[in-house]
Amino acid sequence: MKYRQLGDSDLQVSEISLGSWLTYSGGVEREAAEQCVRRAFEVGINFIDTANIYGKGASEIFLGEVLKDVPRESYVLATKLFFPMTETDSGLSRVQIHKQLNDSLRRLQVEYVDLYQCHRYDENTPLAETMIALTEIVQEGKARYIGFSEWNAAQIKAAIEMTGIEKFLSSQPQYSMLWREPEAEIFPLWMKTASGKSSGRRSVKAF
């Protein structure tokens, strides 16, 4: 297994990560799911990606149970928030960021996640409120770094240009041989961000 440094952080992540969307939220029988996790560690995968919405918490609960005896420093754990968990719980408000992360930590049975990501952009919450809340959870030690998924170039640029807040470390867009849209605006913006490291900006890594 090959590993890469995630942005300018101290996180070394395997080039292949272990996802959990359609598998550990109920799509795969329990014994098979546990075998998948064990096999992932055997081949050197150390990066585990999940989200609170996967099975409405089921994926995080499963991972919390299967990883509870695995040394926490031996793997990199990422989860996300945005989509509705209940009729009143969704989005990226300050209240929701703190509430949803606390719920995720409880389900995952850990004290912190390495990467906490905004699953989508929240049009109903001021970006400043979101970024301040994300900064708070990093300062509290509940998340080591923050990231986002499926934000457009204008949204990313607005966050990058804010001062006095924690900077994004990662981006998780849809990207494949069949879907190459990020190449138009997103990738060039990342490259520009990386070149601005000397001015205090954090290098953003796509994965």
CATH superfamily to which 3-206 belongs? NADP-dependent oxidoreductase domain (3.20.20.100)
Digit-coded pLDDT (tens) for 36-76? 999 999 999 999 999 999 999 999 999 999 999 999 999 99
Extract the tokens encoding 2. Answer: 């090959």
Digit-coded pLDDT (tens) for 153-206? 999 999 999 999 999 999 999 999 999 999 999 999 988 876 655 334 454 555
Model pLDDT, residue 138: 98
User: What SS3 class is residue 47?
Assistant: strand
Extract the tokens encoding 136. Answer: 């708070």
What single DSSP character describes residue 22? S
Model pLDDT, residue 202: 55
How high is the mean pLDDT of the chain? Answer: 93
Percent of the chain residues topping a pLDDT of 90: 86
Catalytic residue among 3, 24, 54, 116: 54
Q: Write out the DSSP string of 88-102.
A: S--SS-HHHHHHHHH
Model pLDDT, residue 204: 52
What does the domain layout of the chain look like in residue ranges?
Answer: 3-206
Model pLDDT, residue 129: 98
Residue among 76, 62, 43, 45 at smallest CA distance from 147? 76
Residue 145 appears among annotated catalytic residues: no
**How far is residue 200 from each of residues 134, 168, 204, measured CA to CA in Å?**
18, 12, 12
